[in-house]
Chain A
Amino acid sequence: MWQEYLFPASVQEALEMLVSYKGEARIVAGGTDLILELKEGKRRVKALVDITRIPGLDEIELKEGMIVLGAGVTHRQAWESPLVRERAAVLAEACHAIGSPQIRNVGTIVGNVVNAQPAADAAIALTALEAELEVADLDGRRWIPIGELYEGPGRSKVDPTRQMVTAVRFPALRPGQGSAFERLAKRRALALPILNTAVVVGLEGDDRAFVEARIALGPVAPTPFRARQAEKALHSAPIGEESIAKAAEIASREAKPRTSLLRASEEYRREMIKVLVRRALRRALEEAQGR
């Protein structure tokens, strides 16, 4: 499957390793998706560059109001992090929904994004959190908004034969904000979502109206989908069940779910978008009111 398995000691060394293999080496972190693809012959590589032993990449920090997670942070770590639970509950919940305990122990959040599946739970949460990812190559590093990282299903703009993502960051939720993640799948472990949604809401100072809402949905489009019209409908809307139900209706209309043998019919999924978005908005609102 591969001829070399390399452990760089720094990001710079990892990037130099990639370049020296001229497109035939690839970054690996947890490997829970990549090793499977290599086993199945869907991808070919000469060398794997394992970034999980680069010092500092497994850290979760709060820096100037931003939560920063290194590229080696696993789903398990995010779920267990008090910082993520308190100030980005949507991400903790999404990470906890992924795969199984065994997968969450090794799979990474950044890998979940770079793999670019439209239903990736952590990526849906990060879409609602308006996260940015730091992409490094030998020319330097820059932060890219998550929405600009996708090319299509299974394709991100990060080229893992020449670049690596070193971290992901997003603003930690503040008082008056709340978030929640909801998911529908055939069972609670090791099942891809039929639908998932991540929402973040913010309230006015006196808690009488929404000032903002972000609603991400998957897999209802080739890439993680933002229900922008539903978000707009919640802007300045009075808090309560009526606004929530209306936003959920709009989200269901603007999303583009397809009938899939794996994931049920379009009609069913449109109905369920309403249910999941309502549930998520209610919980996010509760959190925002309590914060």
Chain B
Amino acid sequence: MPTLTMNVNGKDVTLEIEPDELLVEVLRDRLGLTGTKVGCEEGECGACTVLLDGKAVVSCLLPAMKAQGRKVETVEGLAAEGKLHPLQQAFIDCGAVQCGYCTPGMLMSAKALLDENPSPSEEEIREAISGNLCRCTGYRKIVEAIKAASSSATGG
């Protein structure tokens, strides 16, 4: 079995995996990081979105070996020192979570956006989450939450 070494949420991990495991399987089944969801399993729904070297990717279509030597961020890495990430807090405050299944992916797509563009326009927000499907809230509250967490709202 090949050895995979990657940095997950700031921690270096090394593990033996099957050569054809997908990143979502390694995260969920080997590392117990079940915050990343499995939805459509064909790259269409975005529930499995994680960041690879800061860029949003769908982990259901990504061979885990592609993470070799790379930095992976999942929803579990958002909260730091017991405090929610501003995006997480904004999702709660704005009522952007309904069933919650799309939320981890939404948060990661939103994080990728805000890390690169701290004060995005509404159009940029909508584009950033265009690869994430939500079947409950209808997106408006999600867009509002991302706006609320952006520096244009916080003055930062």
Contact = CB atoms under 8 A, between A and B. Distances in A.
Interface of A: 1-5, 7, 28, 31-32, 35-36, 39, 48, 50, 52, 76, 99-103, 105-106, 188-190
B66 A52 contact: yes
A32 B20 contact: no
Nearest to B20: A1
B109 A101 contact: yes
Contact of A3 (B19, B52, B112, B131): B19
A3 B42 CA distance: 21
A28 B22 CA distance: 14
Contacts of A52: 66
A64 to B, nearest CB: 32
B61 interface: yes
A62 B9 CA distance: 38
B149 interface: no
A114 B117 CA distance: 33
Nearest to B50: A102
B87 interface: no
B46 interface: yes
A100 B19 contact: no
B61 A36 contact: yes
Given A99-B131, A100-B46, A188-B130, A106 B63 contact: no
B2 A32 contact: no
Nearest to A100: B131
B55 to A, nearest CB: 4
Interface of B: 2, 19-20, 22, 41-44, 46, 49, 52, 55-58, 61-63, 65-66, 68, 109, 112, 127-128, 130-132
A52 B131 CA distance: 23
A36 B43 CA distance: 8
Given A48-B63, A52-B66, A189-B131, A102 B49 contact: yes
A100 B20 contact: no
Contacts of A100: 43, 46, 58, 130-132
A71 to B, nearest CB: 16
Contacts of B44: 190
A58 B2 CA distance: 26
Given A2-B20, A3-B20, A36-B42, A102 B66 contact: no
Contacts of B46: 100, 102
A101 B54 CA distance: 13
Given A31-B63, A102-B58, A106-B62, A5 B20 contact: yes
B56 A105 contact: yes
Given A39-B41, A101-B127, A4 B56 contact: no
Contacts of B62: 31, 35, 106
A35 B63 contact: yes
Contact of A103 (B43, B65, B112, B127): B43
Contacts of A28: 63
Given A5-B2, A5-B65, A103 B42 contact: no
